[in-house]
Amino acid sequence: MNCSACGKANSDGVSFCEFCGADLRSQSIPAPVAPRPAPVPPPSAADVANMGKSFLGSLSLGEKFVGAGAIAAALGFFFPWISTPDIGALSGLLGQMGASELNHVSLSGVDVAKFVGSVYLILMAAIASGVLLYFSRKATRGQNLLFSGFQVMIGSLYGPGLIVVLLFVPMIQSVAGAGFWLLGLGFSSIAAGGLIAIATLAKTAH
């Protein structure tokens, strides 16, 4: 062991420096090692379920409609919009694509967007609705009123029109896939949620 005072080497186990007499006992005590923190276990399925219930419980009725609608509309973009075993009927419905360009009889929003890029605006509208819902959680009453108005506008762009077409146009009914229904119902739910939120805010103002 080297003396911290004079720097000379001493025999092991001595308490004082053999050369200058400095106390070596403090040097022989090892510095305490801080205990490692216990690893945090990952959340269990029950914890995740409880967090989900707590989050849903904190949402108002309008927010629940908007959230469910945004998820449904976003999923609907990737589900089949048009599905039919008759390629001829499908190409007649979508004449601008042509039968030679159709390699299957099931078209989702991603497939349609390959021909018409602006179709991605539908997906962006669903995502925008979810983003507005996220920011509305910490917004003021005036901001929430504005956000709810935007939700009504976003939902009204596609929802009611798609539902009317799906219910009253037989040709569309015969080829409409699950994605088309999800889009119609999802955007309609967004619009309904926005209206419910506006009505709730109007009641709390009095």
In a domain, 3, yes or no: no
In a domain, 142, yes or no: yes
Query: Mind listing the pLDDT tens digit for each residue in 186-205?
Result: 999 999 999 999 998 888 76
The confidence score (pLDDT) of residue 102 equals 47
In a domain, 33, yes or no: no
Which of 29-33, 155-159, 190-194 has the least mean pLDDT?
29-33
In a domain, 66, yes or no: yes
Instruction: Indicate whether 146 pLDDT > 90.
Output: yes
The confidence score (pLDDT) of residue 177 equals 87
The confidence score (pLDDT) of residue 96 equals 47
Tell me the mean pLDDT in the region 56-69.
Answer: 88
In a domain, 143, yes or no: yes
- Name which residue leads in pLDDT, 26 or 30: 26
In a domain, 20, yes or no: no
* Contact call for residues 182 and 159 (beta carbons, < 8 A): no
In a domain, 40, yes or no: no
Sequence-ordered alpha helix ranges (H) in 59-140: 61-78, 87-93, 109-113, 120-136
Strand, helix or coil for residue 110: helix
In a domain, 55, yes or no: no
How many percent of the chain have pLDDT more than 90? 37
Q: Per the structure, how many domains does the chain have?
A: 1
On average, the pLDDT of the chain sits at: 81
Strand, helix or coil for residue 83: strand
- Name which residue leads in pLDDT, 44 or 103: 44
The confidence score (pLDDT) of residue 197 equals 92
Q: Domain range holding 91?
A: 60-204
Query: Mind listing the pLDDT tens digit for each residue in 9-26?
Result: 777 777 777 777 777 676
Strand, helix or coil for residue 80: strand
Instruction: Indicate whether 3 pLDDT > 90.
Output: no
The confidence score (pLDDT) of residue 86 equals 53
pTM above 0.85, yes or no: no
Residue carrying the six token digits 């039919």: 84
Tell me the mean pLDDT in the region 164-186.
Answer: 89
